[in-house]
Amino acid sequence: MLEAKNISVEFKIAGRAVKAVSQVDLSLEAGQITGLAGESGCGKTTLAKILLGIIRPQTGTVRFDHRDIFAGENRAYLRRNTQMVFQNPFSSCDPRYTVFDLLWENAAVFRKIRRAEFFKEAEALLAGVELKPRFLARYPHELSGGELQRVCIARALANNPRLVILDEPTASLDITTASRIMRLLVKLQREQGTAFFFISHNLNLLKKVCDFCLIMHKGEIVERGPCGEIYANPRHSYTQTLINAAQNHCLE
């Protein structure tokens, strides 16, 4: 569905070139949950922005359905078929909008659906993320972090995208709420067949929900394979470091 080949990006920081992503190859399969693990600052978010066409790489190509995502005529196609859920739901939602408006805005832009026609669909979207219809009238500040993150997931699904990229969507949540969000994502993937690209620094989370995992270190993909296999038999020393950190976190 989505394929990236030899993509690299570097930024100028204090007059010095810093590689954020270096010669990365990856492919995301339709209907699959793929995980990307790595420490903060290793290039995960930059990679996500490249895959969504927000940042153009200095080298390499990215194709969605065999279409170059940076070609002008293909950008609208990419936007209709991909969505992103960010780490902090409060910073990614307009505080002046009700939950209904947050959901409808996305559908209105891409599907040209009228506000009056969207209420039943909005209720169904909330039901899909296990929220009651009464939440449609609420504002972001009236919701907990977990509730608002569910709204963000519903908003991402409003256009029936084929791919949703989730950038540390549980990092700001407590353990119990994070677990509920993870179970919800698995449920949605099974019911709707949407492909998810799940980014996290916690390999434990990815192991629970992902079919396939990528390990990123200093802008490079250093290991890839089925999550259970990587966790049971890591080949790269950095992967072992991530596993040890995840196991120690579980013991705390």
Cross-strand partners of 199:
36, 167
Q: Give the other-Cβ count within 10 Å of 161's Cβ.
A: 20
pLDDT at 211: 87
Q: Which of 194, 193, 168 is nearest to 182 (CA)?
A: 168
Q: Which of 117, 12, 111, 1 is nearest to 62 (CA)?
A: 1
pTM, entire model: 0.88
- Report the alpha-carbon distance of residue 113 to residue 109 in Å, rounded: 8
The residue assigned the tokens 């026609």 is 117
Share of the chain above pLDDT 90, in %: 50
pLDDT at 249: 57
Residue 13 has pLDDT above 80, yes or no: yes
Cross-strand partners of 67:
64
- How many alpha carbons fall within 13 Å on the CB side of residue 237? 0
Q: What is the pLDDT of residues 84-141, one digit of tens each?
A: 998 888 999 999 999 999 999 888 887 788 888 899 999 999 998 889 999 999 999 9
pLDDT at 251: 35
CA-based R_g, the chain, Å: 18
Q: What is the pLDDT of residues 131-162, one digit of tens each?
A: 999 999 999 999 998 899 999 999 998 888 89
Mean pLDDT estimate for the chain: 88
Cross-strand partners of 224:
214
Pick the CATH number of 2-251 from 1.10.167.10, 3.40.190.10, 3.40.50.2300, 3.40.50.300: 3.40.50.300
Mean pLDDT for 159-181 is 83
pLDDT at 248: 65
DSSP, collapsed to helix, strand or coil, labels residue 2 as strand
pLDDT at 252: 39
Q: Are 104 and 141 in contact (CB under 8 A)?
A: no
Domain-wise residue ranges, the chain: 2-251
Residue 68 has pLDDT above 90, yes or no: yes
